[in-house]
Amino acid sequence: MDQAQKKRNAAKASLEYIQDGYILGIGTGSTVNALIELLPSVRNKIDAVVSSSVATTEKLEQLGFEVATLNAVGDLDLYIDGADEATKHMHLIKGGGGALTREKVLAGAARKFVCIIDDSKLVGMLGRFPLPIEVIPMAQSFVSRRLVRMRGQPIWRENFVTDNGNHILDVHNLQITNPLELESRINQIPGIVCVGIFANRPADVLLIAEDSGVRTIGA
Ligand code: 5RP
């Protein structure tokens, strides 16, 4: 089965977590795009929808959804998003699409976070995928030097500006043996807006699309 079909299968499996009257948060990326295409089938269950990026907002609006702000709705019943890497402990690397900051806010605001991935994203230890970090532009060199001290190799994502007007550093070669500790430590560096480790607020449910079907970890 190809990866695109697996992404569609994971997206479809997440629909059953959407209940009547839900305030729903929607992530960003190709797996989430597959979900957005299916959302009209459960439109009557959704009270309000909040988006994690300009790209996702545009797609939702094209399908006739009115996108609410997080400030207007308060907390979310459910947040559904993809990931670049995930462990069975539901720690994630996110931000391949550069939307990590708003994604982390929505995950933090959600009672339940369902993460939809294909099986290529499931890893024993995070860090093969370069770790995205959003930085304010004037702090980019300073933050890079600090990350080198932590034995990472930060590469500036050229010609890319986040929805918040910031830059992304993709950090290669980090050994993420303790995601909780590393997330907290990187968060201490001034100038960083958000680090793409999602461990302090992990996913609650992982839906992993495999050749044989969609496997669920968590509840
Ligand atoms: C965007 C993200 C995405 O969830 C992540 O990059 C996965 O994307 P895709 O579903 O296209 O593989 O974190 O910032």
Interval between CA 207 and ligand 1 midpoint (Å): 14
Interval between CA 81 and ligand 1 midpoint (Å): 8
Residue 147 identity (one-letter amino acid): L
CATH 3.40.50.1360 boundaries in the chain: 3-122+200-218
| Superfamily name with CATH number, domain 131-195 | ACT domain (3.30.70.260)
Q: What is the pLDDT along the chain (219 residues), one digit of tens a residue?
A: 899 999 999 999 999 999 999 999 999 999 999 999 999 999 999 999 999 999 999 999 999 999 999 999 999 999 999 999 999 999 999 999 999 999 999 999 999 999 999 999 999 999 999 999 999 999 999 999 999 999 999 999 999 999 999 999 999 999 899 999 999 999 999 999 999 999 999 999 999 999 999 999 998
Is 158 catalytic? The answer is no
In three-state secondary structure terms, 107 is helix
Residue with the smallest CA separation from ligand 1 atom 7 is: 83
Interval between CA 204 and ligand 1 midpoint (Å): 17
50 burial via Cβ count (<10 Å: 0-12, 13-18, 19+)? buried
CATH 3.30.70.260 boundaries in the chain: 131-195
- Residue 84 to residue 97: CA distance in whole angstroms: 9
* Ligand 1 atom having least distance to the Cα of 30: 11
Instruction: Tell which residue, 47, 29, 37, has the closest CA to residue 100.
Output: 29
Instruction: Tell which residue, 120, 168, 159, has the closest CA to residue 6.
Output: 120
Ligand 1 pocket check: which of 2, 51, 84 to mutate, most ligand atoms within 8 Å of Cβ? 84
Q: Which CATH number fits domain 3-122+200-218: 3.40.50.1360, 3.30.70.2740, 3.40.50.1100, 3.40.50.300?
A: 3.40.50.1360
Catalytic site residue from 61, 66, 103, 134? 103
